[in-house]
Amino acid sequence: MQLDFKARELTIKLVYYGPALSGKTTNLHAVHRLVNSDAAGRLMTLETRDDRTLFFDLLPLSIGATKGINVRLKLFTVPGQVIHASTRRLVLQGCDGIAFIADSRRSETKANQLAFLDMQDNLTENGFEADTHPLVIQFNKRDLPAIRTDEEIDRLAAHGKEPVFKAVAIRGVGVKETLLGLIDLTVQHLEERHGLKEKVGVTSADFITAVNNRLFREAP
Amino acid sequence: MSDLEAALDIAFGDIRRLDDVVDREALKEICRSFYDLFGLSIRVLQEDGALLADVHEERDICSYVNTLTAGRKACGATVTAVKDDVPDEGTVLSHPCFTGARYMIVPIEYQGHRIGRFVLGPYLPEELTRVPKTLLKLADVDRQEAQRHLAEMPRVRPETAERVVAHLRSILDVLLHSSHRAHLTSEMHVRSVRAGYRELAEKTSKLQVAYDRLRELDRLKSNFLATVSHELRTPLTSIIGYSEMLSQNMAGALNDDQREFVETIHQKGEQLLTLITNLLDLNKLELGSATVKTQAVPPRALLEDILSTMRPIAAAKNVELALTLAPNLPPIAGDPVRLQQIFFNLMENAIKFVDEGGLVQLSATPDELGPEPGASGRGLVLMAPVRRAIAIRVIDNGIGIPRGARERIFEAFYQVDGSSTRVHGGAGLGLSIVKRLVDAHEGTIDVEGALGEGTEFCVTLPASE
């Protein structure tokens, strides 16, 4: 979180993490398509090769003024390939919440697990409490064959701690829900840990209302 | 800009100053092409007022008023005012000149932040037809000359001015976006190389320390193992060998008592050798140096082999052996030699603890290795491995294991009956070896059955994918 008291501006950084080719960039593209055009900035993709992110993607979103404070969201992705470990650590700097994009295919279970452990390590390395940092999990590519079943995911999700979403990011399905879930969790965490309400006078409820109105308001 | 500010800008993908990212030469070229196209002067200023690009040509009217003392003063004041006039975000300022000309001052915004402005003009509004009073009231102004110079100034309609502004804005936005992108890319590149180098250097130094320590430990362990195996086994081999020769009457005939004593020495010597071998084995498993070479092992062949090995021992005690195999069992991912060791130990134990005429059953069924019962926690939905597995049970109807002892039976040297008068022998190493072997296969072992009800060991091993 970056709080500029002089400019009355709050910037929240959200990171899409996950294994290679799980659909992090696709999620950002879908968000870009789904949100109101006046709220979204230009989607920036930093160096790609063969459709793979080398550094990161960045999508700035503007929530606008809420109770006198200007709120901006910055959505980042990390490069998924194992070799870009140091870049992932750099992108996680200053991150307020994470959407972990998992590939639903059974064959990718191990890759999901390795990426998750890598994320936990990198959070710790960056000085975050890895076990309490805001996190939502998205099971992407629900339209593909040989995936982990709904029943299996629901059963395990009921035991797990974090909100779980199912998505087909390429068609925009579940993308909005994942983002809203992440924002909700992150803002609650910022309120609990950093006294967001005390500092800027905005409650998490105000925040969510503003996000809904500004980002996803239906065109008149 | 401080290092911290720079790091924050990279972390949040922000621009603090226009000249941090934008290429001044590219900016000048764009302004020049606009000037060529529309004939309008352009100045680009940073948020703090510093001039980044300036393409203009002095107009005749400007040259003229600058020849007059009062005109020079008024012109200086206007230029300063234009320079200092900062429009709010999202608004365009129109600043009048005393000559009747105008300047447009437009904010340059990026990701919702104002980081500079550009000034368009001076130009003459289309609607101006006469020399304005503000110009005429200057001392020494010649109306006709002023009229003539004004007529040579470019005239712009309000809607044209708006279009020019919108066009320049969108071009600057693209330039800023691509410049910012290039800036972030190169910064990320440098930072990841630096971070990568630092991490590698740290890891290399840690690895070197660990490697040196391990080499020392390895040397000590090898010495220890060599000593144990030599110092214990060598005399033991002699004890076993000589007692065997004695019992075979190779040193003359023995009487019955002598034979019994010598055979006991031989038998106990063999037991001691097995114990030493097991200890070395356990040592290796604990150090993790025992190799488990995983391959696809068909359960039927494995278990039938075990059964035929155990049959003579069972027959000697009149114990019945039974094998049940579920259909379509997948192969086990395991080391055939180590798997043999696991089930040999379990079967041997079972036969040891059933009474004469008892029953030991071996069964294999398909299973799943999933999360622990009642497990919960962060990332469980991702981390819980769901693997195909094979559950192999060794069930006996012997004396059973008391509930309280179940957790401890896998500890080395533990005996359920540790009294000096116990009926069943053994050093208490068998199950601890089994447990470590099962762990090395990433499997699980559980024990069921209460005292007096027999025992059921269930070994779950991963299936070969």
pLDDT of B225 strictly over 80: no
Residue type, B76: G
CB-based contact, B381 to chain A, within 8 Å: yes
CB contacts, 8 Å: A32 with chain B? none
- Is residue B377 very low, low, confident or very high in pLDDT (cuts 50, 70, 90)? confident
- Is residue B1 very low, low, confident or very high in pLDDT (cuts 50, 70, 90)? low
> Is the CB of residue B286 less than 8 Å from the CB of residue B221?
no
> Is the CB of residue B361 less than 8 Å from the CB of residue B464?
no
Closest approach of chain A CAs to the CA of B460, in angstroms? 20
pLDDT of B408 strictly over 90: no
> Is the CB of residue B184 less than 8 Å from the CB of residue A46?
yes
Q: A155-164, A181-190, B226-235, B260-269: lowest mean pLDDT where? A: B226-235
Q: Which of B185, B371, B384 sits opposite A46 (nearest CB)?
A: B185
The residue among B273, B290, B307 that closes a domain is B290
Closest approach of chain A CAs to the CA of B367, in angstroms? 16
CA distance A175 to B81: 50
Give yes or no: residues B260 and B342 share one domain. Answer: no
CA distance A156 to A108: 17
The residue among B135, B156, B177 that closes a domain is B156
Subunit contact B192:A55, Cβ cutoff 8 A: yes
Q: What is the pLDDT of residue B290?
A: 66
Give yes or no: residues B338 and B257 share one domain. Answer: no
Q: What is the pLDDT of residue B186?
A: 86
- B219 vs A59, more confident: A59
Give yes or no: residues B378 and B451 share one domain. Answer: yes
- Is residue B422 very low, low, confident or very high in pLDDT (cuts 50, 70, 90)? low
For residues B393-415, give the mean pLDDT: 80
CA distance A134 to B378: 11
**Domains of chain A with bracketed CATH:** 2-216 (3.40.50.300)
pLDDT of B243 strictly over 60: yes
CB-based contact, B425 to chain A, within 8 Å: no
Residue B66: exposed, middle, or buried by beta-carbon count in 10 A (0-12, 13-18, 19+)?
middle
pLDDT of B29 strictly over 90: yes
Subunit contact B188:A87, Cβ cutoff 8 A: yes
Please check whether residue B180 lies inside any domain of the structure.
Answer: no
Structure tokens at B338: 């180590």
- B8 vs A163, more confident: A163
Please check whether residue B184 lies inside any domain of the structure.
Answer: no
For residues B241-264, give the mean pLDDT: 91
Please check whether residue B277 lies inside any domain of the structure.
Answer: yes
Give yes or no: residues B244 and B336 share one domain. Answer: no
| B3-32 residues touching A, CB cutoff 8 A | 7-8, 10-14
Helix axis angle, B24-38 to B158-247, nearest 10°: 150
| In chain B, % of residues over pLDDT 90 | 37
- B130 vs B303, more confident: B303
CB contacts, 8 Å: A153 with chain B? 381
Structure tokens at B451: 């005292």
* CA distances for A124 relative to A38, A56, A86, A121, angstroms: 36, 20, 14, 5
**b (16+ CB within 10 A) / e for A113-139:** bebbebbbebbeebebebeebbbbbbb
Closest approach of chain B CAs to the CA of A171, in angstroms? 23
CA B191 from chain centre, in angstroms, equals: 19
pLDDT of B415 strictly over 70: no
For residues B255-280, give the mean pLDDT: 87
Please check whether residue B188 lies inside any domain of the structure.
Answer: no
Strand partners, A3: A10
Give yes or no: residues B300 and B438 share one domain. Answer: yes
- What total number of domains does chain B contain? 3
Q: What is the pLDDT of residue B450?
A: 67
Mean pLDDT score across all residues of chain B: 86
CATH code for position B207: 1.10.287.130
Query: Residue A13: which of B149, B111, B460 has the closest Cα?
Result: B111
Span B345-360, pLDDT tens digits:
899 889 988 888 899 9
Give yes or no: residues B222 and B352 share one domain. Answer: no
In SS3 terms, B15-43 reads as CCCHHHHCCHHHHHHHHHHHHHHHCCCEE
Q: What is the pLDDT of residue A220?
A: 47
User: pLDDT tens digits for chain A (220 residues)?
Assistant: 888 888 788 999 999 999 999 999 999 999 999 999 888 888 998 866 766 777 888 898 888 887 888 889 999 999 988 778 888 998 999 999 999 999 999 999 999 999 999 999 999 999 999 999 999 999 999 999 999 999 999 999 998 899 999 999 999 999 999 999 999 999 999 988 888 888 888 888 888 888 888 888 664 4
A215 three-state secondary structure = helix
For residues B130-150, give the mean pLDDT: 88
Q: Which of A45, A74, A100 sits opposite B12 (nearest CB)?
A: A74
Please check whether residue B347 lies inside any domain of the structure.
Answer: yes
CATH code for position B101: 3.30.450
CB contacts, 8 Å: A123 with chain B? none
Give yes or no: residues B374 and B436 share one domain. Answer: yes
Please state whether beta strands A48-49 and B102-110 pair in parallel, antiparallel, or not at all (unpaired). Answer: unpaired
CATH code for position B450: 3.30.565.10
Span B204-216, pLDDT tens digits:
999 999 999 998 8
CA distance B328 to A150: 27
Domain that holds residue B357: 291-462
Subunit contact A160:B376, Cβ cutoff 8 A: yes
Subunit contact A44:B378, Cβ cutoff 8 A: no
Residues 6+ apart with CB under 8 A from A80: A18, A19, A20, A21, A22, A24, A52, A53, A115
Give yes or no: residues B113 and B242 share one domain. Answer: no
Closest approach of chain B CAs to the CA of A70, in angstroms? 10
Give yes or no: residues B146 and B251 share one domain. Answer: no
Please check whether residue B52 lies inside any domain of the structure.
Answer: yes
Return the residue matching tokens 């905005």. Answer: A202
CA distance A153 to A164: 8
Q: Count the neighbouring beta carbons within 10 Å of the beta carbon of residue B266.
A: 19
The residue among B261, B290, B319 that closes a domain is B290
Handedness of CA B164, B166, B169, B175 (dihedral sign): negative
Residue B17: exposed, middle, or buried by beta-carbon count in 10 A (0-12, 13-18, 19+)?
middle
Region of A43 please: left (phi>0), alpha (psi -120 to 50) or beta.
beta
Residue to mutate among A11, A46, A165, with most B CBs inside 10 A, is A46
pLDDT of B262 strictly over 80: yes
pLDDT of B227 strictly over 80: no
Please check whether residue B364 lies inside any domain of the structure.
Answer: yes
pLDDT of B373 strictly over 90: no
Q: What is the pLDDT of residue B321?
A: 93
CA distance B31 to B171: 10
Q: What is the pLDDT of residue B22?
A: 87
Q: Which of B8, B173, B381 sits opposite A2 (nearest CB)?
A: B8
φ, ψ for residue A129 (rounded to 5)? -85, 105
Give yes or no: residues B314 and B273 share one domain. Answer: no
- B19 vs A138, more confident: A138
Please check whether residue B171 lies inside any domain of the structure.
Answer: no
Query: Residue A137: which of B372, B383, B12, B385 has the closest Cα?
Result: B383
Give yes or no: residues B286 and B310 share one domain. Answer: no
Give yes or no: residues B241 and B298 share one domain. Answer: no
Span A57-69, pLDDT tens digits:
889 888 888 788 8
CB-based contact, B373 to chain A, within 8 Å: no
Q: If residue B3 lies in a helix (H) or strand (E), which one and from where to where?
A: helix B3-12
